[in-house]
Structure 1
Amino acid sequence: MNTLTLNAGRITALGRSELTLLVRNRATLTLALLMPLMMVFVLRSSLGDSEGAQAVGEATLTGGIGMVLLLVVHMNLVSSYVARREELVLKRLRTGEASDVEILSGTALPAAALALAQIAVLTVAGAAVLDVATPRNPLLILAAVLAGVLLLAALSAVTSSFTRTVETAGLTTLPLFLASVLGSGMFAPVDSLPDVVASVCELLPLSGVMTLVRAGWSGGAAGGDLLGAGLTTLAWIMISVFAVQRWFRWEPRR
């Protein structure tokens, strides 16, 4: 890769171009924008006045944050990277002044901004509609979400390297999606699983992020658990960045 330099102006310009392409895809944009509110209202209608609604509401909102990260950042970005690669956009951009990091960051910028906006709406509207207590530590949630965006953006670039076409992106993103939904504690803490399974699931890419999100919302997590979650997330970010440098494809697969 080229020198790891960053220029805010170039990243913003690339992000603006990517945003224009995203806006033109009305179906994807509409679904992405409406997903958080749809999730909140569907859950509200299904919960009724059942006991434990507070706990279920918190679990749904924290899980919803994970879903937004997976659907808006990971799945959307894999398709974007593959499409720009196959259209030779990445190859042309690489011949200009922009560094590799700026190109990848600019492409990811609209998806990251959209995910942050959705999570903000989900947090505020969800807490109001579901009558759930507001987060105890919003800064911890923000730090976890930003780390999740960075991690999934890097993982998206890695996944795109093994994705031949935009049509097959749904298949290559499925393993991480299923592993995260089932094993990363998105809707239930990992420690509720059997010991051996829990030990493995704690090492999944999104497990650390979700532990931090839940701790930021409801509190009660031990310092050691938070440290472990932070280190796991940091380790996956470093692994993902290394994998991008090693395997990311800038030209179409032949």
Structure 2
Amino acid sequence: MNATAARLTALGRAELTLLARNRNNLFVALLMPVLMIFLLRSSLSGTDDLPMGVAEATVVGGTGMVLVLVVYMNLVATYVARREELVLKRLRTGEARDTEILAGAALPASVIALVQCAILTALGPAVLDASAPRRPDLLLAGVVAGILLLVGLAAVTTVITRSVESAGLTTLPFFLVSAMGSGLMVPTEALPDAVAPVAELLPLSGVMELVRAGWLGVGQVGGKELLGAGLTTVAWIVLSVFAVQKWFRWEPRR
């Protein structure tokens, strides 16, 4: 256990150093979520039929934005870069297991996402005039589950991502689908009745339901919906792990 922790710490420290040297990735990880949250608040301010307040919709959607931008989009570029530089291949010849290599590379982004979500939770009531989270335990569960899911989905997305430059294109469909269908920019209650059942099955929808329950309370979400959200999230995590084990590439295509 100590050896595993030491390897993860070493891999995470090395990845953090590389992240600090990459201005583009650093901007996406640190500043882009802040800009998107204020853009989200501005766009929601003109909506009249929100099932919750603008401030609450902003903090719920903002949490999702942090997860997608910091974890998913950042990690796809990171994994591809390490693959193309043969870093992943070299690491596999050492003592670190495959899961440790992927987890170590994801450690800095995951910690940054947790810190940003914590800052949003602490400052949301003061800066955005939102109510305090009614169920912090569910909010934390949603954020942690979201990180686990998005790390797996990021690794899966590298299968169709040939270069770091193309990462912006291969991650865009998931970002757009999640933004419009999973409750990041458009609350799920505002979706048409014909679309809502399909949207509930999207990868990030269960996570966002947990996050929303954390902010608004179980009474605003419903126990049945919360159970379905948890099961959907677990199912997508299991599928992503299976896909990584089966299709993840450790070496560049030649």
- TM-score, with length taken from structure 1: 0.91
Does residue 10 of structure 2 align to residue 9 of structure 1?
Answer: no
1:99-119 Cα shifts (integer Å, max 9, x gaps): 000000000000100111111
> Given that residues 180 and 186 in structure 2 are in contact (C-alpha distance below 8 angstroms), is that contact kept between their aligned partners in structure 1?
no
Residue among 208, 213, 216 paired with 1:215: 213
1:6-59 Cα shifts (integer Å, max 9, x gaps): 8111111101000000011134324532345445556778889x9999800110
Change (3 A) 1:155 1:55: same
Point out where structure 2 has 5 or more consecutive residues left out of the alignment. none
CA distance in 2, matches of 1:31, 1:238: 27
Question: 2:15 matched to which residue of 1?
Answer: 18
- The letter of the residue matching 2:247 is W
CA distance in 1, matches of 2:55, 2:189: 19
Question: 2:229 matched to which residue of 1?
Answer: 229
> Given that residues 108 and 153 in structure 1 are in contact (C-alpha distance below 8 angstroms), is that contact kept between their aligned partners in structure 2?
yes
Q: Does 206-215 or 38-47 show the bigger shift?
A: 38-47
Change (3 A) 1:32 1:195: same
- The letter of the residue matching 1:28 is N
Aligned counterparts, 1:119-198, within 5 A = 119-198=117-196
1:118-146 Cα shifts (integer Å, max 9, x gaps): 11112222221122111001111001000
Question: 1:199 matched to which residue of 2?
Answer: 197
Change (3 A) 1:75 1:30: closer
CA distance in 2, matches of 1:205, 1:156: 12
> Given that residues 40 and 129 in structure 1 are in contact (C-alpha distance below 8 angstroms), is that contact kept between their aligned partners in structure 2?
no
CA distance in 2, matches of 1:190, 1:43: 15
Point out where structure 1 has 5 or more consecutive residues left out of the alignment. 1-5
CA distance in 2, matches of 1:156, 1:47: 28
Change (3 A) 1:247 1:52: closer
CA distance in 2, matches of 1:235, 1:61: 26
CA distance in 1, matches of 2:198, 2:41: 33
- The letter of the residue matching 2:77 is S
> Given that residues 163 and 172 in structure 1 are in contact (C-alpha distance below 8 angstroms), is that contact kept between their aligned partners in structure 2?
yes
Residue among 80, 88, 94 paired with 1:90: 88
Question: 1:3 matched to which residue of 2?
Answer: none
CA distance in 1, matches of 2:200, 2:44: 29
Give the superposition deviation at 1:173.
Answer: 0.6
CA distance in 2, matches of 1:144, 1:116: 11
CA distance in 2, matches of 1:193, 1:47: 14
CA distance in 2, matches of 1:99, 1:125: 39
CA distance in 2, matches of 1:108, 1:151: 12
Change (3 A) 1:138 1:244: same
Does residue 79 of structure 2 align to residue 81 of structure 1?
Answer: yes
1:54-77 Cα shifts (integer Å, max 9, x gaps): 800110111011111111100100
Q: How many residues are treated as equivalent by the alignment?
A: 249
CA distance in 1, matches of 2:97, 2:89: 12
CA RMSD of aligned residues (A): 2.3
Give the superposition deviation at 1:194.
Answer: 2.2
- The letter of the residue matching 1:32 is A
